[in-house]
Structures are given as structure tokens and as C-alpha cells.
Amino acid sequence: MKTSQEKIKEYLKKRAWDKNEPVDLAKSIIIEGAELLELFQWGNKNRKQVMSDKEFIKNLRGELADVFIYSYCMAISLGLDADELIQEKLNFVEKKYPPRVMSREDHLKIKKKFREKNK
């Protein structure tokens, strides 16, 4: 079975859309992220309300998929393996945020300390 990255790569190649510039793809990721955020404009739905609103979820799925797809396009354009990037980042944040129960205050303290250490 093909991975999402392989399917998107094929899709782009068939349409000769596989040579997009990274700056255009970065803009597209943010634009699609804004479309996702726009769904929440003038509202204040919490997670439970979002999950119970079928029309909202339908629209959210579409915009979230757009963000993912453009992110894959960026990886493809630069010859990067998206899964490898995700694994690397997960390994990094695993160390940054050790798996234990933390309060929000603990989390913010650790984050601040980490940033000061890595300036």
C-alpha cells in the first residue's frame, strides 16, 4: 500500500506540479491553516461542540487535509521524507517534554528553561 507521501508525489508528477518553489508551498500551508482557523471565527466552540457538529467536522476535515497535503508537497519538493521528519521531531520533543504528569505551569517552566538553555 502506498503512503500518503507517495500518492501525493504521483498526483503532483502527473500534473507537472512537482516543481513548486518552497516559498509558495510555505505560503500555501499558512493560507490553508488560516482557512482552518476561519472555521472558528466568530465562534467559541469547544472540543465537545466541534465533535458533535457534523457540518463543522466535514469542513474541518477538508481544511486539515489541505494543511497536511501542502506540508507533504513541501517535503516532496525538497526531497525530504515526511515520516522521517515527524519521527525526528517526536524524538526531540520526547526529550524536551519527559512523559510524566505535568501541570500547565510545570510545562511552561520546562519550556522556558529549555529555550534559555538552547539560545
Find the DSSP H helices in 15-100. 22-38, 47-52, 54-77, 82-96
Using CA of residue 30, residue 65, residue 45, residue 112, what is the dihedral sign? negative
The cell for 102 is: 505535568
Residues within window 65-84 making contact with Mg ion, judged by CB under 5 A:
66
Whole-number minimum distance, CB 60 to Mg ion, in Å? 11
Cell of 23: 516559498
Q: Nearer Cβ to Mg ion, position 36 or 50?
A: 36
Q: What residues from 15 to 44 belong to the interface with Mg ion (CB under 5 A)?
A: 32, 35
Selected range binding Mg ion among 1-9, 42-50, 59-67, 75-83, rule: CB under 5 A: 59-67
Tell me: does residue 53 bind Mg ion (CB under 5 A). no
Grid cell at residue 82: 515526511
Residues that bind Mg ion (CB under 5 A): 32, 35, 63, 66
